[in-house]
Amino acid sequence: AQSVTQLGSHVSVSEGALVLLRCNYSSSVPPYLFWYVQYPNQGLQLLLKYTSAATLVKGINGFEAEFKKSETSFHLTKPSAHMSDAAEYFCAVSEGYGNKLVFGAGTILRVKS
């Protein structure tokens, strides 16, 4: 069965600094991988997804993630943090189209001015 581990339940960065949120996955088959963002009192919004095409995936709001099979990782990055990026971020994995989505525990990103 697939699983997701998000390293660090809280990450704090300064405005303008690099954002790096870590996600490692376990899957018995080539996975589909997702990053979602959740703002306070809101639902989850899809940031980006990897479905076996290009390994570097660009998403909304300047975020991108790179699929690294050898490291079983799908870390989320953004070159320059903005105050509006403060939210909780969830990594999710499924074992291909039509298979169950499993979510990580989430990482809360704080952006300091």
Partner 1 sequence: ETGVTQTPRHLVMGMTNKKSLKCEQHLGHNAMYWYKQSAKKPLELMFVYSLEERVENNSVPSRFSPECPNSSHLFLHLHTLQPEDSALYLCASSLEPNTEAFFGQGTRLTVV
- What does the binding site for partner 1 look like in residue numbers (CB under 8 A)? 34, 36, 41-46, 49, 90, 94, 97-101, 103-106
With b meaning 16 or more CB within 10 Å and e meaning fewer, what string describes 20-41?
ebbbbbebeeebbbbbbbeeee
Q: Say if CB 15 and CB 112 are below 8 A apart.
A: yes
CA terminus-to-terminus distance, the chain:
41
Give the nearer residue to partner 1 in terms of CB position, either 29 or 101: 101
Which CB atom, from 18 or from 46, has the smaller least distance to partner 1?
A: 46
Distance in Å, CB of 44 to partner 1, minimum: 4
CB of 35 to partner 1, least distance (A): 12
- Residue type (1 letter), 32: Y
| 17 or 44: CB nearest partner 1 | 44
Residue placing its CB nearer to partner 1 in the complex, 21 or 104? 104
C-alpha–C-alpha distance, residues 2 and 22, integer Å: 17
Distance in Å, CB of 19 to partner 1, minimum: 22
